[in-house]
Amino acid sequence: MIRFRSSMIAPVLCAALTQIARGQGSLPGERVVEASIGNHGSLLVRYSDADPGHLTVETRSENGTVKFYLWQASAGLLTIKSGDVEETLDAHTAPDEYSSALRKIRDLIAYAAGPERYEWLVFGSDVVVPELNQVIARISDALGPQSSEDINCQLLVENQGAEPMVLSGGALGDLGTLSNAISKVWVKKGYTLVLVSNPQFDTGHNVKLARVLGEERRSSTELPRIDYDPAFSDLVEGSEGSTYTLEGTFLEGAVQSIICRPDLRS
């Protein structure tokens, strides 16, 4: 199944990815997701429901630079190709480099899972791809125990004795009863958290939306910024990021869907 996120398809990029994939052989249940980066950049994620540990990601920057990633989880190999330069990282012989590159892939996939623009309500919710969460989860499994590099967004769940909800990225469409207990959110610098009042990113029924950024920039859609709350994971206590409160705002007790993604254009 192929899901394109805009009417503008990057034909050269698609052709390059198809040519590489043809050499690898197609996978059962193969899916392709496209996203835009800025005005002229693009991103393609190619994966399979049957094996989310075997995937390709290809990016084209606004200046035309193309970069290709191939991850083979079962073999512990990650290949990166840019121009004539190709490098293969082995999880066993170069674990740090392998993990760093795998986190980069996870960020690219998290970007593709969310809307291209934060005025996305105009375009409807079909630009959200929560199915990519299974791929993000597979990458997180391969990375092992969480570190500060793996926590990009957090939601503080109060009055239930629960740990904060920790996200490395992606889109989650139904928080259920947790919606009533979320009091604060923390976002790492370089990432954005989108909070939606309706489940499954439904754009009707008086939907409310706010985006909060890891930087201290302000806009009319942001929530009030407050000091860091030690109830968040201590893994990120020294990380750069911003904390926002939902208490007393239009989203208090009303967050049903969330999206955590990097700011690739920053």
Tell the burial category of 258 from Cβ atoms under 10 Å away from its Cβ (0-12, 13-18, 19+). buried
- Tell me which DSSP letter residue 181 carries: G
Tell me the per-residue pLDDT of 41-55, one tens digit each, with 9 for 90 and over: 889 999 998 899 999
Which pairing describes strands 241-245 and 225-226: parallel, antiparallel, or unpaired?
antiparallel
Instruction: Give the pLDDT confidence score for residue 141 in this predicted structure.
Output: 95
Tell me the per-residue pLDDT of 126-143, one tens digit each, with 9 for 90 and over: 578 999 999 999 999 999
Strand partners, 64: none
Contacts of 210 (CB under 8 A, 6+ apart): 194, 195, 221, 222, 223, 249, 250, 251
Residue 190: CA atoms inside 13 Å, Cβ hemisphere, count? 12
Q: Which of 34-43, 118-127, 215-224, 232-241 has the highest mean pLDDT?
A: 232-241
Q: What does CATH list as the number for 146-262? A: 2.60.20.10
Torsion angles phi and psi, residue 226, rounded to 5: -135, 180
Instruction: Give the pLDDT confidence score for residue 248 in this predicted structure.
Output: 93
Can you read off the two tokens belonging to residue 161?
């004795």
Amino acid at 236: V
Q: Where exactly are the structural domains of the chain?
A: 2-132, 146-262
* Global pTM value: 0.85
